[in-house]
């Protein structure tokens, strides 16, 4: 499992309410994204917003963050987003009362990594 943290600064015309309204409008559009497990739409008083995504595979994530999605972010927010990828080793899900431990997808010494 992969977690991606995507962040961008909001232009002055997009305040808290406008950001929330936009996120509420687009959230259903992510239901059919290949490999996407979940997305948290995030906002901060510091002027940053974005998403925390859970992906099945890094290939699905990197494919998504190109083309129309990237062009839309640049057009709306005036910048390329910062994207950081993390491999998930374990997950504690208190809602389901479950802990999941993930096997390593690629060995750390694998030269193809």
CATH number of domain containing 63: 3.30.70.100
Task: Report the chain's mean pLDDT, rounded to a whole number.
Answer: 92
96 belongs to a structural domain: no
What phi and psi values does residue 69 have, to the nearest 5 degrees?
A: -60, -50
Q: Total structural domains in the chain?
A: 1
69 Cβ neighbours under 8 A, 6+ residues apart: none
Other residues' Cβ atoms within 10 Å of the Cβ of residue 39: 20
- Longest Cα separation, the chain: 47
pLDDT tens column, 28-44 = 999 999 999 999 999 99
109 belongs to a structural domain: no
pLDDT-based confidence at 104, cuts 50/70/90? Answer: confident
């Amino acid at each position: 499992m992969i977690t991606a943290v995507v962040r961008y600064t909001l232009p002055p015309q997009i305040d808290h309410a406008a950001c929330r309204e936009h996120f509420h409008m687009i959230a259903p559009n992510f239901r059919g994204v290949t490999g996407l497990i979940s997305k948290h739409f995030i906002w901060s008083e510091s002027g940053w917003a974005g998403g925390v995504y859970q992906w099945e595979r890094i290939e699905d994530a990197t494919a998504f963050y190109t083309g129309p999605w990237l062009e839309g972010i640049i057009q709306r927010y005036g910048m390329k987003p910062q994207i950081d990828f993390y491999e998930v080793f374990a997950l504690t899900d208190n809602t389901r009362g479950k802990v999941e431990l993930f096997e390593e997808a690629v060995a750390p010494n694998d030269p193809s990594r």
